[in-house]
Amino acid sequence: MPDPTDSGAAGFLETPRLLLRRWQDADLDGLAAVNAQPEVMRYIHDGRPLDRDATAERLAAYRRHWDEHGFGLYAVEVKETGGLAGFTGLAVPAFLPEIMPAVEIGWRLGRGHWGRGLATEAARAVIAHTRAGLGLRRLVSVHVVGNDASARVMVKLGMSLERETVQPDTGRQVRVYAMDL
């Protein structure tokens, strides 16, 4: 198994159960299925599920982010099935200007993949890669108040609550967690 701290430059990270890789055209249907789940999208942006066209726009934005920043969100593939579980990775949280400049670690998994520790496993691989080679000194993670499962992942990763605030474009209460690398 490749070492997750030195495979990220090649566009993938590997954990015991997951392959984190760059996005492919074939991922659109799997990501659209995740984004169509109301319970998955409940705490994302305005809480509404995304249709296939909106997901295609997001997927294009995820690819552009990699090109512009040299890091981004990875597609999370379950090795046992080869199916797309969702994503995890790094993004610039421009939606919350008061914490900028910052890099956010985030995740989104389909409902069928919740409760198995996959978000934590994937995020730990991203953090290890970030520490080893991206030169970042700090990561943040933002969640809408009420999304307790996401907050538990942040704590498992070693992040601490930094502030509570309001997301300007939605008016939703959010909590910002942070960690030094």
- The CATH number of residue 101's host domain is 3.40.630.30
pTM of the predicted model as reported, rounded to 2 decimal places: 0.92
Residue 92 pLDDT exceeds 80: yes
Percent of the chain with pLDDT over 70: 94
Assigned domain for 3 exists: no
Task: Look at 6 and 154; give whichever has higher pLDDT.
Answer: 154
What are the tokens at 173? 């209460």
Write out the residue range of the structural domain in which residue 52 sits.
8-180
Assigned domain for 78 exists: yes
Residue closest to 144 by CA, chosen among 116, 172, 181: 172
Assigned domain for 99 exists: yes
* Total count of domains within the chain: 1
Assigned domain for 2 exists: no
Assigned domain for 25 exists: yes
Q: Is 61 in a helix, a strand, or coil?
A: helix
Assigned domain for 161 exists: yes
**What confidence score (pLDDT) does residue 5 get?**
36
Assigned domain for 34 exists: yes
Assigned domain for 1 exists: no
